[in-house]
């Protein structure tokens, strides 16, 4: 049966009802385009970040991690071009006062909301400014970083000098970024505070095109492994008018959200633009000396830049399904087991005859290793439905047979099949089906 596509209303309502995502400062009426992750949402997002880190850093020899600070020397943003050029064209409606990004409007003559007259477009810098120290003057201005990439570039010499990495190699980091977006839209898709998962791969000039292709392929494989439906993911190559000033080539990985095909991740050939600029602005040597060829060069950089929150949005849209069963219906989130917030529900069939005691024991044994949820309330079918709706991949039921042969049933969320497993083997069974499911590739 073909999956009926979900709507944003259904996702937003499920996220609030089950504690995935809330509007920031809700009791004060909310702060526009800022969101908080609730008890299940924080698990989902952390698991996505962990999965990305495992894929990009821990399973490879040629990528190392970094966690740079959000605040950086203001010169960084002059060198990167953000102070001068990180702007969007802004227009206001003179009648209803709504604001728009001029480049996203089809008709610059009339307001899309009320038909009123629009102002001339003016450039608006997206960086949030603040001050260090007690005096609010121009000498103390700092910015909340609008991307995590620059923290990696300025640490390039530190990483080369303190580790044994040799080109080609990458530096990866996950962290918050801030953009004072003019128009915000579609729940957590475009927000003012968000997280990026970025990897900058340093290569010898001339090998950049080949590495660009390799990273494109690797990143598509990543989304497949995350169990995003392949027909929902595609490449979009930037045309000459879309290319950023620093990029020789750029592809977006787009996902088909309920509101259309939109960017999930950017893959860019940034050439040696950034390192050259930091060399010029800092006066520091950012060239690399290759021991083997005895050559000195400023490396080219291939960047893969994904949004953690956008990935959450894609995963939620992709996973949601309402199914009509024979005598019942269910809402199910088909999360990959690695990223599901809760890995297993633990249910005693009834609340008596020693079954809860066995269930507690299993729960206590699994808890240090996996987030599990004990539930003894209501019919087992209803308990399954509650776990289906939050994407729990497995449910372990303790029944009367358990007392006889020390086995439990493990029910799989998507196919709803059940298997009897010895209590002693439950933990290794989960390990096989969660931690060991993915075979990681390395470039
Ligand atoms: P867009 O065109 O959607 O504004 P961008 O091309 O400016 O995005 P990049 O600067 O390439 O985005 O940032 C890399 C990634 O960071 C994006 O693919 C996206 O996943 C994420 N990202 C960028 N801006 C936002 C935002 N305002 N909210 C959430 N995620 C964002």
305 Cα–ligand 1 center, Å: 8
Same domain assignment for residues 253 and 190: yes
Cis peptide before 296 (omega within 30 of 0): no
Same domain assignment for residues 215 and 270: yes
Q: Is 165 left (phi over 0), alpha (psi -120 to 50) or beta?
A: beta
3-state class percentages of the chain: helix first, strand second, coil last, to nearest 5 = 35, 30, 40
Residue 35 belongs to a domain with what CATH number?
A: 3.30.930.10
286 Cα–ligand 1 center, Å: 27
142, β-bridge pairs: 130
Q: Tell the residue nearest (CA) to atom 19 of ligand 1.
A: 307
Is 265's C-beta closer than 6 angstroms to any atom of ligand 1? yes
The sign of the CA dihedral 252, 253, 259, 260 is: positive
Is 190's C-beta closer than 6 angstroms to any atom of ligand 1? yes
Same domain assignment for residues 258 and 371: no
> With pLDDT > 70 as the criterion, what percentage of the chain qualifies?
99
Confidence of residue 51 (pLDDT cuts 50, 70, 90): very high
Q: Where are the beta strands (DSSP E) in 82-168?
A: 87-92, 99-101, 122-125, 129-131, 141-143
Instruction: Give this prediction's pTM.
Output: 0.94
Q: Tell the residue nearest (CA) to atom 12 of ligand 1.
A: 266
Is 309's C-beta closer than 6 angstroms to any atom of ligand 1? yes
> Angle between the 308-319 and 8-17 helix axes, to the nearest 10 degrees?
100
Confidence of residue 136 (pLDDT cuts 50, 70, 90): confident
Same domain assignment for residues 59 and 171: yes
Residue 414 belongs to a domain with what CATH number?
A: 3.40.50.800
Q: Tell the residue nearest (CA) to atom 1 of ligand 1.
A: 263
Same domain assignment for residues 33 and 66: yes
Name the residue of 305, 312, 316 whose CB sits within 8 Å of the most ligand 1 atoms, as the mutation to test its pocket: 305
Contact 57, 50 (CB under 8 A): no
418 Cα–ligand 1 center, Å: 42
pLDDT tens digits, one per residue of 211-230: 999 999 999 999 999 999 99
Same domain assignment for residues 378 and 292: no
Question: How many structural domains compose the chain?
Answer: 2
Is 310's C-beta closer than 6 angstroms to any atom of ligand 1? yes
Is 266's C-beta closer than 6 angstroms to any atom of ligand 1? yes
Give the CA count within 13 Å in the CB-facing half-sphere of 221: 14
307 Cα–ligand 1 center, Å: 7
Q: Tell the residue nearest (CA) to atom 28 of ligand 1.
A: 190
Residue 327 lies in a domain: no
Same domain assignment for residues 284 and 377: no
Residue 142 lies in a domain: no
pLDDT tens digits, one per residue of 318-374: 999 999 988 889 999 999 999 999 999 999 999 999 999 999 999 999 999 999 999
Is 412's C-beta closer than 6 angstroms to any atom of ligand 1? no
Rg (CA), the chain: 25
Q: Which two tokens stand for residue 416?
A: 């709803």
pLDDT tens digits, one per residue of 193-216: 999 999 999 999 999 999 999 999
Q: Tell the residue nearest (CA) to atom 6 of ligand 1.
A: 266
pLDDT tens digits, one per residue of 270-293: 999 999 999 999 999 899 999 988
Same domain assignment for residues 358 and 270: no
**The pLDDT of residue 152 is above 70:** yes
Same domain assignment for residues 396 and 266: no
Residue 383 lies in a domain: yes
Q: What number does the ligand 1 atom closest to the CA of 181 have? A: 27
Is 307's C-beta closer than 6 angstroms to any atom of ligand 1? yes
Q: What number does the ligand 1 atom closest to the CA of 262 have? A: 3
Domain range for 178 is 2-71+147-317
Same domain assignment for residues 287 and 224: yes
74 Cα–ligand 1 center, Å: 22
Is 305's C-beta closer than 6 angstroms to any atom of ligand 1? yes
Same domain assignment for residues 403 and 366: yes
437 Cα–ligand 1 center, Å: 30
Same domain assignment for residues 352 and 232: no
- Tell me which of 317, 350, 368 is where a domain ends: 317
**The pLDDT of residue 438 is above 90:** no
Name residue, tokens 């008709």.
107
Residue 303 lies in a domain: yes
Q: What number does the ligand 1 atom closest to the CA of 263 have? A: 18
pLDDT tens digits, one per residue of 234-284: 999 999 888 887 888 999 999 999 999 999 999 999 999 999 999 999 999
pLDDT of residue 109: 86
How far are the Cα atoms of 32, 79, 379 from residue 283, in angstroms, in the given order? 41, 11, 70
Is 402's C-beta closer than 6 angstroms to any atom of ligand 1? no
- Tell me which of 275, 302, 317 is where a domain ends: 317
Is 191's C-beta closer than 6 angstroms to any atom of ligand 1? yes
Give the CA count within 13 Å in the CB-facing half-sphere of 419: 13
Distance CA 1, CA 296 (A): 59
Is 175's C-beta closer than 6 angstroms to any atom of ligand 1? no
Assign 97 to helix, strand or coil: coil
- Tell me which of 317, 333, 358 is where a domain ends: 317
Residue 94 lies in a domain: no
Q: What number does the ligand 1 atom closest to the CA of 179 have? A: 27
The sign of the CA dihedral 202, 206, 208, 214 is: negative
**The pLDDT of residue 441 is above 80:** no
Q: Tell the residue nearest (CA) to atom 4 of ligand 1.
A: 190
Residue 260 lies in a domain: yes
Q: Tell the residue nearest (CA) to atom 3 of ligand 1.
A: 263
How far are the Cα atoms of 199, 286, 380, 430 from residue 151, in angstroms, in the given order? 11, 14, 51, 38
Q: Tell the residue nearest (CA) to atom 23 of ligand 1.
A: 307
Residue 158 lies in a domain: yes
Residue 181 lies in a domain: yes
């Amino acid at each position: 049966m073909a999956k009926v596509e979900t709507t944003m209303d259904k996702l937003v309502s499920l996220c609030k009802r089950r504690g995935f995502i809330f509007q920031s400062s809700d009791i004060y009426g909310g702060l526009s385009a800022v969101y908080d992750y609730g008890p299940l949402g924080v698990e989902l997002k952390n698991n996505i970040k962990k999965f990305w880190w495992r894929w990009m850093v821990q399973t490879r020899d040629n990528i190392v991690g970094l966690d740079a600070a959000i605040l950086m020397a203001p010169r960084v943003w002059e060198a990167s071009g953000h102070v001068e050029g990180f702007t969007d064209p802004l227009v206001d409606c003179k009648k209803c006062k709504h604001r728009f990004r001029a480049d996203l409007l089809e008709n610059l003559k009339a307001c899309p909301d009320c038909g009123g007259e629009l102002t001339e477009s003016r450039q608006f810098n997206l960086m949030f400014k603040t001050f260090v120290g007690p005096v609010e003057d121009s000498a103390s201005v700092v910015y909340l970083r609008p991307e995590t990439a620059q923290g990696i570039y300025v640490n390039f010499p530190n990483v080369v000098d303190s580790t044994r990495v040799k080109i080609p190699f990458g530096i990866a980091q996950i962290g918050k970024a801030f953009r004072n977006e003019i128009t915000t839209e579609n729940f957590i898709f475009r927000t003012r505070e968000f997280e990026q998962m970025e990897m900058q791969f340093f290569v010898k000039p001339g090998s950049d095109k080949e590495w660009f292709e390799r990273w494109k392929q690797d990143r598509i494989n990543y989304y497949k492994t995350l169990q995003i439906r392949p027909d929902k993911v595609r490449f979009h190559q930037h045309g000459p008018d879309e290319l950023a000033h620093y990029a020789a080539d750029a592809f977006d990985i787009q996902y088909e959200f309920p509101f259309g095909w939109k960017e999930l991740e950017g893959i860019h050939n940034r050439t040696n633009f950034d390192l050259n600029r930091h060399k010029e602005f800092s006066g520091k040597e950012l060239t690399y000396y290759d021991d083997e060829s005895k050559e000195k060069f400023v490396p080219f950089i291939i960047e893969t830049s994904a949004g953690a929150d956008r990935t959450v949005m894609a995963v939620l849209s992709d996973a949601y399904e309402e199914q009509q069963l024979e005598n019942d219906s269910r809402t199910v989130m088909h999360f990959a087991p690695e990223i599901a917030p809760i890995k297993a529900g633990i249910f005693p069939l009834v609340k008596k005859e020693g079954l809860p005691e066995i269930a507690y024991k299993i729960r206590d044994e699994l808890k240090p290793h996996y987030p599990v949820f004990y539930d003894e309330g209501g019919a087992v079918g209803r308990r399954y439905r509650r776990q289906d709706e939050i994407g729990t991949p497995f449910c372990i039921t303790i029944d009367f047979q358990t007392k006889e042969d020390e086995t439990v049933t493990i029910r799989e969320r998507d196919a709803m099949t059940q298997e009897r497993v010895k209590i002693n083997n439950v933990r290794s069974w989960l390990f096989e089906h969660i931690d060991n499911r993915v075979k990681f590739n390395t470039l």
